[in-house]
Amino acid sequence: MRIRPMTEMDLDAVTHVEEVCFSDAWSRKNFEDSLKEPSAHLLVTADEASDEVIGYCCLYQALDEGEIVNVAIAPEYRQKGYGAAMVGALMKLGRSLGAESFYLEVRAGNTAGKRLYESIGFETCGIRKDFYSDPREDAVLMVWQEKSICQ
């Protein structure tokens, strides 16, 4: 497994993974726009030998806060630690750029996703009613914050 910055050459593969993973998938244009956005940081996870994209994640950063907006691993590669490694690399990048906290939303019914984020240190801090469509579902708002030295 190799984690690297997403490039325009990855967009077909990323869009394919997105469509396989999500019913309300981002379009190729959404990813193109994000690649051009200075506050956005996008990574892909690729097979070491073939460089085939098996997952990706996206972070938007403003000052000391990061919002993780998209995380996906192709179904056949799940439960192998790729997601945790990829999100960890994204957070390390964000922290190197000054982020002290990270936020994300995850479908309320996505038990595996919630477990992944909790294993990294995210905590539930709220619910966004009917946040997702197709199917309509609440989002669980989660946050990771650097621990204060005063605690």
Distances (CA, A) of 43 to 9, 72, 91, 138, 151: 13, 11, 11, 26, 33
Strand partners, 45: 3, 55
pLDDT in tens, 32-60: 999 999 999 999 999 888 889 999 999 99
**Is the per-residue pLDDT at 149 higher than 70?**
no
Q: Which percentage of the chain shows pLDDT scores above 70?
A: 97
**Is the per-residue pLDDT at 150 higher than 70?**
no
Domain ranges of the chain: 2-103
* CATH number belonging to domain 2-103: 3.40.630.30
* pTM recorded for the entire structure: 0.90
Confidence of residue 147 (pLDDT cuts 50, 70, 90): low
Confidence of residue 61 (pLDDT cuts 50, 70, 90): very high
DSSP letter at 110 equals -
Q: With helix as H, strand as E and coil as C, how does 62-84 read? A: ECCEEEEEEEEECHHHCCCCHHH
**Is the per-residue pLDDT at 21 higher than 60?**
yes
Name the CA dihedral angle for 10, 16, 20, 26, rounded to a multiple of 10 degrees: 80
Mean pLDDT of the chain: 92
